[in-house]
Amino acid sequence: MPQFDFNTVFSRIKDLDLKASFRKIGAFLMPFSSVLGIDIGTTTIKIVELEQSGGEVSLKNYGMIENFGHLERENAAIQSSGLKIVDEMTAVLLRELLKQMGPTTKEAVFSLPAFSSFVTTMDLPNISEKEFKSAIPYEARQYVPIPLSEVVLDWKVLRPIPGSTPNRIQVLLVAVSQDVVNKYYRIAELSGLKLKALELESISMARAVVPSDPTPTVVVDVGSRATSISIVDERDVRMTHDIDTAGNDLTMAIARGMNLSPVKAEEIKKNYGIASIQSYQYLPGLMTPLIDSIVSEIQKTSKRYLEKTKREVKRVVLCGGGVIPPGVKEYFERELKMPTELADPFSNLSYSSDLEPALKLVKPQFSSSIGSGLKLFVQT
Ligand X SMILES: Nc1ncnc2c1ncn2[C@@H]1O[C@H](COP(=O)(O)OP(=O)(O)OP(=O)(O)O)[C@@H](O)[C@H]1O
Query: Which positions lie near Mg ion, rule CB under 5 A?
Result: 41, 223
Q: Minimum Å distance from CB 93 to ligand X?
A: 11
Cβ–Cβ < 8 Å for 21, 374: no
In the stretch 82-101, what mask flags binding to ligand X with x, by CB under 6 A?
--------------------
Nearest distance, CB of residue 241 and ligand X, angstroms: 14
* Contact residue for ligand X among 6, 11, 41, 69 (CB under 6 A): 41
Q: Name residue 317's beta-bridge partners.
A: 219, 341
Residue 63 to residue 320: CA distance in whole angstroms: 15
Q: Residue 148: which of Mg ion, ligand X, none does it interact with, CB under 5 to 8 A by kind?
A: none
The burial class, CB within 10 Å (0-12 / 13-18 / 19+), for 129 is exposed
Inter-CA distances, 255 with 137, 175, 286, 316, Å: 48, 38, 10, 29
The CA distances from residue 205 to 230, 269, 295, in Å, are 10, 25, 20
| DSSP β-bridge partners for residue 11 | 62
Among 11, 43, 111, 245, binds ligand X (CB under 6 A): 43
Please pick, from the candidates 34, 42, 301, 340, the single residue that binds ligand X as defined by CB under 6 A: 42
Write the CA distances from 173 to 70, 128, 152, 156, integer angstroms.
33, 18, 11, 7
Identify residue 71 by its one-letter amino acid code. Answer: L
The Cα–Cα gap between 111 and 203 comes to 9
103 neighbors 65 (Cβ within 8 angstroms): no
Q: What contacts 163, CB < 8 A, 6 or more positions away?
A: 309, 310, 311
Would you give the binding string for ligand X spanning residues 248-287, x where CB under 6 A is met? x--x--------------x--xx-----------------
Rounded CA separation 160/234 (Å):
8
CB of 320 to Mg ion, least distance (A): 6
Distance in angstroms (rounded) separating the CA atoms of residues 269 and 283? 8
- Residue span binding ligand X (CB under 6 A) among the ranges 170-178, 217-225, 341-349, 350-358: 217-225
Strand partners, 13: none
Is the alpha carbon torsion for 264, 268, 274, 277 positive or negative?
negative
From 207-215, 229-237, 241-249, 352-360, span contacting ligand X (CB under 6 A): 241-249
Binding part of the chain for ligand X, among 30-38, 48-56, 138-146, 320-328 by CB under 6 A, reads 320-328
In angstroms, what is the minimal distance from the CB of 30 to Mg ion? 25
- We find the least distance from the C-beta atom of residue 113 to ligand X, in angstroms, to be 6
Least distance (Å) from ligand X to the CB of residue 362? 7
* Total residues binding ligand X (CB under 6 A): 23
* Binding test (CB under 6 A) with ligand X, winner from 34, 61, 224, 350: 224
**Judged by CB under 6 A, does residue 230 bind ligand X?**
no
Sole binder of ligand X in the list 37, 247, 327, 345 (CB under 6 A): 247
**In the complex, which residues of this chain contact ligand X (CB under 6 A)?**
41-44, 113, 223-226, 246-248, 251, 266, 269-270, 320-322, 324-325, 361, 365
